Amino acid sequence: MATQVQPIRRHKPLAGLLTATTLSMTGNAIVGVTVPWVVLARTGSATFAGLAGAAAIAPIALSALFGGALIDRLGRRFCAIVADLLSALAVAALALLDGAFGLPLWGIFVLVAVGAVFDGPGTAARETLRPDVARATGTPLPRVNAWGEAAESVGLLLGPGLGGVLLVVLGGFGALWITVAMFGLSALVTALTVPAHLSPPPHREPYLRSVLEGLRFVLREPGLRTVALTATIIVGFVAPFESVVLNSHLQDIGRPTGYGLILACFAAGGLLGAITYGVLGHRLRERPVLIGSVAATAIGLAAFAFLPGVPVMAVLAFVTGIASGPINPVVAVIMQSRTPERLRGRVIGSYTSVALAAGPVGLLLIGPVVDVAGPRAGFAVIAAGCLLAALFVAMARSLRR
């Protein structure tokens, strides 16, 4: 019996981290579906839906930059727990105030932005815990990263479908109360399963200096600079795909129920792609995998510009998700292998900030494009951006070693 109990206990931190990641990402996915959908339904404007998406991303870019240094200063586990609790409070305020008073658009945007402030540090904190958990459980780091991204994909798989059902059952922002519960449960799971001693003690350094140190390291280290710029290109073009372009197209053709299905297929494909990389990743070189994944993703997204039926879009979403699944695990391995232990939190936070900075810009620009030229043009622009990212990675020399 002891020989059976010991492996279970040894892998408890890994199981807990993956469970907390899934819960938190599912909650975020429900918010990501609910808010733009409600805004678009109330206003009929893709531009306003884009503004709602921008309000959810812009604070993450800023909070990840400053939150990364807090992770190194306060501790990885502590920041993961507190970020989930604060996210729960912010989302509860949105649901409560809109239900009681009927929030205007600017009020919705403000509260969405407040909630998003805590998402960046929370996600970065869980990612900084991965090498600690891998070391404690004896699991290869590429596998832990792949499983971590797979857990996020599970959240993205469950969230849209669950959000669509909750929109029908509970109506409007009533769906967000499930998100509140998920954030709270994520914090509880992290507290109970991830021991504090897995990570080294936090460093008490001057705060602003540590923020700048992390940003400088990302921009000066050639490999990290390459993946950060690549991610910036991808995020800038792909961020409007779900909340603006796909959302607008499906409402135009009167097939809103296909929204959750297509997003779920994307997440299912991403889950399969990430798991496949987890099995094979330790045998593969990062650069070819990254180039191939980004290029294949661009091709898959380009097919959406033909505006096929919802069933075909669901198949395309699944295939494109498989292609994109390895991207985040590969980038995580590159970052973690090139970052000193004491800088991990601020470097991951800085990378996240740089990568997400283009998201609000893409959301704000693609909305008018869709309003004027239609969803077909929006899908084409998104695919072209991903192809540009693939060409950039292929031409960069910093990842060849």
Q: What is the pLDDT of residues 68-114, one digit of tens each?
A: 778 888 888 998 999 999 989 988 988 888 877 777 877 888 888 88
Report the pLDDT value the prediction gives residue 247, as an integer from 0 to 100. Answer: 78
Rounded mean pLDDT, 193-204: 78
Rounded mean pLDDT, 300-316: 90
**What is each CA distance from 180 to 117, 152, 174, 355, in whole angstroms?**
15, 17, 11, 27
- The DSSP call for residue 340 is -
How do residues 159-183 score in pLDDT, each as one tens digit? 766 776 777 677 677 778 888 999 9
Rounded mean pLDDT, 115-133: 84
Query: CA geometry: angle at 81 spanning 79 and 82, to 5°?
Result: 65
**What is each CA distance from 71 to 351, 370, 401, in whole angstroms?**
14, 39, 30
Q: What's the CA dihedral at 304, 309, 313, 314 to 10 degrees?
A: 170
Domain 2-395 = CATH 1.20.1250.20:
yes
pLDDT band of 7, cuts 50, 70, 90:
very low
